[in-house]
A and B are shown apart, each in its own frame.
Chain A
Amino acid sequence: EAGVAQSPRYKIIEKRQSVAFWCNPISGHATLYWYQQILGQGPKLLIQFQNNGVVDDSQLPKDRFSAERLKGVDSTLKIQPAKLEDSAVYLCASILGSGGYNEQFFGPGTRLTVL
């Protein structure tokens, strides 16, 4: 069974530029999460989708971050414009069904550096 795929693995941009990350969850997993992991910290939830609907985006900085999951499968996370403090690893995770109490399967992450 293929795992959660993410691309790119690394991205370096200058502040005020835009960037987009892509995630393809495990086949059949209805729920998808995006996390931000700043160096030295644990992952912090940004947004949760169930199929193509948003379940929770309360911690997403909506003035610059956006995410979509149009067909209920893969998802993109965008930052526009980027700030220095956005430097982090962006992790995508998926889960079978809707329950957040099940094991989440994580992708390898995209490491973003904002200069």
Chain B
Amino acid sequence: AQKVTQAQTEISVVEKEDVTLDCVYETRDTTYYLFWYKQPPSGELVFLIRRNSFDEQNEISGRYSWNFQKSTSSFNFTITASQVVDSAVYFCALAEDYKLSFGAGTTVTVRA
């Protein structure tokens, strides 16, 4: 069974638009962590954020923000005022029992 679902396969926006990426996860554990990684065309996965299951505070880091809601098992990611350099594949991942399970990814294309 898929543990992490990223329903959006591709999103295309014009520069300066906001982009929200959805992530829904499934787990029976009470202790788990959620991650977002970015994979630019170069191929190397870049860590963006980690959130544990006991911390539901939303977080903002520059143009990035994350909304974690345990009630709906969602961990959504928003890029504000998108830029061309944000074009990449974004992966949501769930860590339980010390293992990472990745979603299928959402390809974001930002057009100038």
Q: Residues on A close to B: CB < 8 A?
A: 3, 40-45, 48, 55-56, 89, 91, 93, 98-109, 111
Tell me if A109 and B44 are in contact (CB < 8 A): yes
CB neighbours of B47 from chain A (8 A): 103-105
Q: Are A42 and B43 in contact (CB under 8 A)?
A: no
Give chain B residues whose Cβ lies under 8 Å from the Cβ of A102: 50
Q: How many positions in chain B have a CB within 8 Å of any CB in the partner chain? A: 24
Q: Are A42 and B44 in contact (CB under 8 A)?
A: no
The reply to whether B99 and A108 contact each other, CB–CB distance below 8 Å, is no
Prevailing SS type, chain A contact patch: loop
In contact, A108 and B105 (Cβ under 8 angstroms)? no
A41 touching B98 by the CB < 8 A rule? Answer: no
Contact yes or no, B43 A101, CB < 8 A:
no
18 contacts between A and B (CB under 8 A): A42-B102, A42-B103, A43-B45, A43-B100, A45-B101, A55-B98, A100-B97, A100-B100, A101-B95, A101-B98, A103-B35, A103-B47, A105-B47, A107-B44, A108-B43, A108-B44, A109-B43, A109-B44
Q: Kindly list chain B residues whose C-beta atoms are within 8 Å of the C-beta of A43.
A: 45, 91, 100, 102
Check if B98 sits within 8 Å of A100, measured CB to CB: yes
Contact A40 B45 (CB under 8 A): no
